[in-house]
Structure 1
Amino acid sequence: MEAGLRGPTNLFGHPTDEQLIELDQALSQWDTDFNKAPVTKIAFGHFPMSFSAFTESGKSIKDVFLKHSLAAYLCGHLHTRFGKNLKRYYHRTVQEPSLSEHYYQFNMHQGYAIQSNKENCSEEAAHIEEFWEWEMGDWRKSRSMRILAVDDGYVSYTDIDFRLGSKSIIILPTFPIDSRFMQRSFASRDFKCHIMGASTFDTVRTLVFSKYEIVSVSVKIYDSRPGTLEVVFDSEMKRVDSNETRGHMYLVPWNWKAFEDPSPNRYWLQIEVMDITGDTSVSQLRPFSVNGFSTRVSWTWKEFFVMGIQWASVYHPALWCILSLVFSLLLVPQVSAVVFKDHFTYKYLCPKGNQQTLLKYLVGGFVWLFVELARVVLIWFLLLAYVIYLVVLPWLFGHPITEDGNLTYMTYKGWILKRPNSGSEVVHAGTPDVMVIVLPHFCFVLLPTIVILAAMAAERTAYREHYLSRSGKKKDDYHEKSRKQIEHEIFWNGRWIRKFLCLLCLVVLWKHWKHCRALVKAYAMNPLLHSPVYFFYIPALILFAIYKTSSI
């Protein structure tokens, strides 16, 4: 295995075409006929799908998982830092997916197959390309453990948080399964066509792990239709004696047809266990659907940010949108200043109280900010030169693999590395991982700098107009002004807008310094030697702009 890049440009998993072929072959060996018994396939990996890059030929690991219709893909990387519902259901639809689906998915179950009333029970329709992605908590920080069970093709799990203390009893219901996070499309077909046979549905089953001898295990099913949870099924469960695992299987027959319902979350299941010491434990309430329907669950914004967005696909469109915005803010006002010379001035845009044209003045005032920046030619030219530098030239030099490795450079396309055993051929490594450097610099450093410097240029022009308008007044006129006019004079004479803009400059510089310090530590680089432009251009430009706009 080749050495990977050092952080922070190690955000994505980078499968190769060879690895996908090997994965496909490994999963294909279970497609042979094992007495026609279906094989439940589960894969384990580190990176979630949202942080998995494409191969050089444009293939994705998701396509391999869909081809083999995995039951689940368990991954890490994010763990539970962004939420508890870092789960996502994938399904290959018959129709061509929309353009937006290549970039984001708002709902955890978006793309879930809609089952028709007339289910196709033929063998040709048996293969449904789908799988669940379940992010796991980590043991080192979260002290979290997951127990997974496969029961006649149905995969279920329970998470245990040891930060709340050790547990003497662990309960894992295996059927019926949770309709929120475990239901797959085949369950609906199984319900209507009885592929698994009636025995799969005839009993409620659960695994129980206990430190002490179990005295009783009972199951309760609640009906949420009345608006409150009402017990509709309460029964003791019996232990299966032939079990050889460390846990014990308990089951109880039930009339599963009585729980048929089009609502996937009407009925809720809970298991209660008591051991010989009198300690009682109950499982979490979970909805179920014997019809095989899925309960839709929405992400929080943080969960959507890390699970719903396909960052490998988003990086380049986002980058070019930001670059288009930056060039527009610099070039369009310059053209406007030349073509509409008399229209974008302080006096022309100063509102005269006409409410019908207020929107016009607001839009014109926003454009005027950048027109004033364009009139400060030297600052405008330095900003444009820096943007061109970021697009054309290297951002920084460093050691992206090891401190003793070769010194190389990074552009917005990635780190330039020589391909092993290929002579002088180079590759852009770390794409789209470099987005953690590129996009924050554009969004939180460059764009705010352009806006703040434009506001400084506009403030200088407005203050000059104010100063010139008052310079011809008599001194006695000052005592004849109203209190409101006096406060207005004090506000302008103190140039409080400029002071506030200088404070914003400090915020931008602090953000830039924090980012640069992280890069120095990450890639063993010397700012003066390896990246003087990236590190010092923006601070020097801000200081020069503050000096340039200080006088009128």
Structure 2
Amino acid sequence: MRLSKSTVLLLVCMIVLSMFLANVANLLSTAQKYEPKYFNEKNKLTMTDKNEHLIWFLQISDIHISVFRDQLRTTEFKEFCEYIVKIFKPPVVLASGDLTDAKTHDGIGSNQIQNEWVEYKNILSSLNISQHTQWLDIRGNHDNFNVLNLESRENYFANFSIQGKANPRSYMYQLEKNGDVYSFIAVDACLQPGPRRPFNFVGMLDDVEITVINNIVKQIESSNSKYTIWFGHFPTSCILSQEPGGIRSLIGKHDHALAYLCGHLHTLGGAIPKMYTLQHAGFLELELGDWKDNRMFRLLAIDHGLLSFIDVKHRNWPVVLITNPKHALYIMPQKENLEVITESTHIRLLIFSLAEIDVVKVQINSEGWIECQHVEGPLYVAPWNPKKYNTGLHIINVYVSDGEGGRKIHSQPFSLDGTRLSFGLLPRLVLMTNASTFFKFMFWCMIIFAVAPLLMMKLIHYRDIKKGKVKKRNGNTGYIRSWFRKIWILSSVDRIFWPLVLYPIYLTVGPWSIGYIVEDRVGAIFAWGIYVDGVFLPGSFTYAYGFIQLLTFQFPVTCILAHAVDCRIRALIQKRKLSYVTKLTLHLPFLMVIILQLIMAYNFWLAYGTLAFIIGPLRTWSIIIAIGLWIMMLSLPEDCTWDAAKVWSYTFKHMEESTLTSCSNAFK
């Protein structure tokens, strides 16, 4: 049986698509098998009702202290430091970046603002935060806007943060409690130099910083540390690295790494409030919602080697964290010994509240409620028999009430046989893929989408005209066929076709803008990176920026011009003027695109200044190109219609005979 070309093409496309989907599914898979043999029996801990092998700590991220907007976030941040830290009494608080907002009054420009840093420092120092906890802060991209290097006068992190003076970039902190050593590794992936927004969205670990981190890991491995928590501002998907496997490889090859804690994405504006996943290397990656708008912070605990956590809304009391049995979704088969749960003697809870706790009860499935006993500090326990729950998923419920009438019912699933729940698709897509690769893919897809149809129509048109294969086509019926005709006709008008094709091609190779990229240093922005102060920053968010430009400018302008040229040719052939309604449908969409482009160009001027605005092929010059093409379309001469009319039949009831004759003679 012979197969047609279309059938073969369809089969090839199906095979390629299936391979692509299989690779994506493998990339996003979080299924991991539990192997008890990997855990040393000598180090296995027995979980009872004792207050031992237990530590808890806090994380806060994306504080964005600002002198221009929302002063309440600063006031409530002071509440966090004054009340929450004293109530939780954590030995460590992780402040994972974007400590200050660093946006100008208009909200578009970006620059380090000293008063914001002074406010941050004054809050921490006035409350003597270092006497209550070890405050581990690190820079975020906002703390790095317009910062040339660590020695720059704009690097206020060095002088106004807790860790900045001793630890300007990545560092480690260790603490010991009752014989257990816990390590915390701060990863600074800020760009150096640090451009202004928006080209400071993705971080990078250069060779120097990777060496520093590897040395930190070696120190931890040579110590008696059992548990390591990594934290930084950027999710691993937003960190460029020349290390094979990237930062995930750095974390994963360290046996005692339990989790990587981050912020930065602000739960994508609330679209993904629980942005968590289990990476292939075996550790949890947990993005924390921002303090800026959502007033979120995180309570974490390591109880007998098991990591548990809960994200908490500010002023939402009481706070309940179940450490045993652990939440079924967050089990780490490669990092945790689950036999600790199956051989435990007590359910264990951490309870915090502003008032004295009155009642703590637990319930498993639909069984009766059991009163919990207070052990010490926030620890409450209740005896249980884990063998009753050996198979499947179960639900544990906790009821808490305090002396001020606060009540909380908290539930979570657990499993003792390795039965797993699945992380959401969106969190896995965001945290397990590579943002730079995704941005690049979208950019090149849009380039192809902008150029390929025009080039294809040009080649087909050339074949039909030059090789004498002219076949009259009727494109007056059908929506798809109508637009097919419009793109074809546009490709036949060289004076409009070539600028539309060459502009997106230029965006792939030429500079988008030249101006003051960082402080007083002139640099150039390309799709594939930024060159400033003798340093090349590989392209990442630049591709996303280019994609947005193509989506909001190139694509609509091409469609508008294709329709306009078609209308213009019809009017020329018919020897008639366009109606006011037709003119409105032509000019209004074009005007809207130009206004949007003017707003974007204005915002770019606010961000990078006059020089970048003037020497700005991406934003400013595109407006000039579009207006020039529009003027050419409006004054398109009749001889530009001949090539189109050779191929496409324009059937009009009132077309003058003289017009048809002149066109026919011209085509001979």
With the length of structure 1 as denominator, give the TM-score of the two structures. Answer: 0.72
Partner of 1:412: 527
Find the partner of 1:311 among 412, 435, 440.
435
Partner of 1:97: none
The CA distance in 2 between the partners of 1:211 and 1:344, in whole Å, is: 84
For 1:206, the aligned partner's letter is L
**Structure 1 pair 504/155, CA: closer, same or farther in 2 (3 Å)?**
same
Would you say the 8 A contact 2:597–2:619 is kept in 1?
Answer: no
Q: Does 1:174 align with 2:323?
A: yes
For 2:311, the aligned partner's letter is D
Would you say the 8 A contact 2:296–2:311 is kept in 1?
Answer: yes
Find the partner of 1:130 among 282, 302, 324.
282
Partner of 1:232: 367
Tell me by how many angstroms 1:15 deviates: 0.9
Partner of 2:647: none
Partner of 2:488: 371
For 1:545, the aligned partner's letter is W
Partner of 1:217: 360
**Structure 1 pair 435/348, CA: closer, same or farther in 2 (3 Å)?**
same
Q: Does 1:499 align with 2:559?
A: no
The CA distance in 1 between the partners of 2:594 and 2:470, in whole Å, is: 30
Tell me by how many angstroms 1:294 deviates: 2.2
Tell me by how many angstroms 1:543 deviates: 5.4
**Structure 1 pair 28/347, CA: closer, same or farther in 2 (3 Å)?**
same
**Structure 1 pair 513/284, CA: closer, same or farther in 2 (3 Å)?**
farther
Tell me by how many angstroms 1:261 deviates: 2.2
Matches within 5 A, 1:107-146: 129-146=281-298
Tell me by how many angstroms 1:429 deviates: 1.5
Partner of 1:47: 234
Encode CA deviations 1:401-457: one digit per residue, 9 max, x unaligned.
11xx222221111212243xxxxxxx4325213124211112221122122211222
Would you say the 8 A contact 1:509–1:539 is kept in 2?
Answer: no
Matches within 5 A, 1:150-299: 150-162=302-314, 165=315, 167=317, 169-180=318-329, 182-186=330-334, 190-191=337-338, 194=339, 196=340, 199=343, 201-222=344-365, 231-240=366-375, 243=376, 247-262=377-392, 264=393, 267-277=394-404, 279-299=405-425
Secondary structure of the corresponding residue to residue 589 of structure 2: helix
Partner of 1:438: 546
- Specify every segment of 5 or more residues in structure 2 that has no aligned partner in the other structure, as ranges: 1-149, 151-191, 639-668
**Structure 1 pair 295/79, CA: closer, same or farther in 2 (3 Å)?**
same
**Structure 1 pair 212/527, CA: closer, same or farther in 2 (3 Å)?**
closer
Q: Does 1:89 align with 2:224?
A: no
RMSD between superposed Cα atoms in Å: 3.0
Encode CA deviations 1:261-318: one digit per residue, 9 max, x unaligned.
23x4xx22221123345x2422432111122332113245xx5674454212223333
The CA distance in 2 between the partners of 1:158 and 1:531, in whole Å, is: 47
For 1:85, the aligned partner's letter is K
The CA distance in 2 between the partners of 1:274 and 1:207, in whole Å, is: 14
For 2:486, the aligned partner's letter is L
Task: Choose 373-382 or 279-288, whichever is displaced more.
Answer: 279-288
**Structure 1 pair 530/522, CA: closer, same or farther in 2 (3 Å)?**
same
Tell me by how many angstroms 1:463 deviates: 4.7
The CA distance in 2 between the partners of 1:435 and 1:85, in whole Å, is: 27
Partner of 2:502: 385
The CA distance in 2 between the partners of 1:350 and 1:530, in whole Å, is: 43
**Structure 1 pair 253/499, CA: closer, same or farther in 2 (3 Å)?**
same
Would you say the 8 A contact 1:13–1:53 is kept in 2?
Answer: yes
Encode CA deviations 1:45-79: one digit per residue, 9 max, x unaligned.
00011211123x55511111111252111101112
The CA distance in 2 between the partners of 1:346 and 1:463, in whole Å, is: 19
For 2:333, the aligned partner's letter is S
**Structure 1 pair 33/15, CA: closer, same or farther in 2 (3 Å)?**
closer
Find the partner of 2:604 among 519, 523, 531.
519
Encode CA deviations 1:114-168: one digit per residue, 9 max, x unaligned.
xxxxxxxxxxxxxxx4111111123233221211111011111122212xx453x
The CA distance in 2 between the partners of 1:431 and 1:443, in whole Å, is: 19
Q: Does 1:73 align with 2:260?
A: yes
Partner of 2:454: 330
The CA distance in 2 between the partners of 1:304 and 1:499, in whole Å, is: 46
Encode CA deviations 1:451-510: one digit per residue, 9 max, x unaligned.
221122223334555x37xx9xxxxxxxxxxxxxxxxxxxx9637455324322223223
**Structure 1 pair 28/392, CA: closer, same or farther in 2 (3 Å)?**
closer
Tell me by how many angstroms 1:345 deviates: 8.0
Partner of 2:248: 62
**Structure 1 pair 66/219, CA: closer, same or farther in 2 (3 Å)?**
same
Encode CA deviations 1:352-393: one digit per residue, 9 max, x unaligned.
xxxxxxxxx766544322221122221112223323432332
**Structure 1 pair 384/249, CA: closer, same or farther in 2 (3 Å)?**
same
The CA distance in 1 between the partners of 2:273 and 2:346, in whole Å, is: 30
The CA distance in 1 between the partners of 2:613 and 2:298, in whole Å, is: 49
**Structure 1 pair 514/299, CA: closer, same or farther in 2 (3 Å)?**
farther
For 2:546, the aligned partner's letter is V
The CA distance in 1 between the partners of 2:428 and 2:218, in whole Å, is: 32
The CA distance in 1 between the partners of 2:241 and 2:471, in whole Å, is: 50
Partner of 1:401: 518
For 1:41, the aligned partner's letter is T
The CA distance in 2 between the partners of 1:276 and 1:328, in whole Å, is: 70
For 2:241, the aligned partner's letter is F
Percent identity over paired residues:
23
**Structure 1 pair 255/463, CA: closer, same or farther in 2 (3 Å)?**
farther
Aligned residues: 442
For 2:373, the aligned partner's letter is K
The CA distance in 2 between the partners of 1:197 and 1:408, in whole Å, is: 57
**Structure 1 pair 382/212, CA: closer, same or farther in 2 (3 Å)?**
closer
Would you say the 8 A contact 1:5–1:430 is kept in 2?
Answer: no
Matches within 5 A, 1:467-546: 467=574, 494=579, 496=581, 499-526=584-611, 529-531=614-616, 534-542=619-627, 544-545=629-630
For 2:524, the aligned partner's letter is Y
Secondary structure of the corresponding residue to residue 399 of structure 1: strand
- Specify every segment of 5 or more residues in structure 1 that has no aligned partner in the other structure, as ranges: 92-128, 223-230, 352-360, 420-426, 472-491
Would you say the 8 A contact 2:442–2:544 is kept in 1?
Answer: no
The CA distance in 2 between the partners of 1:152 and 1:344, in whole Å, is: 80
Task: Choose 143-152 or 433-442, whichever is displaced more.
Answer: 433-442
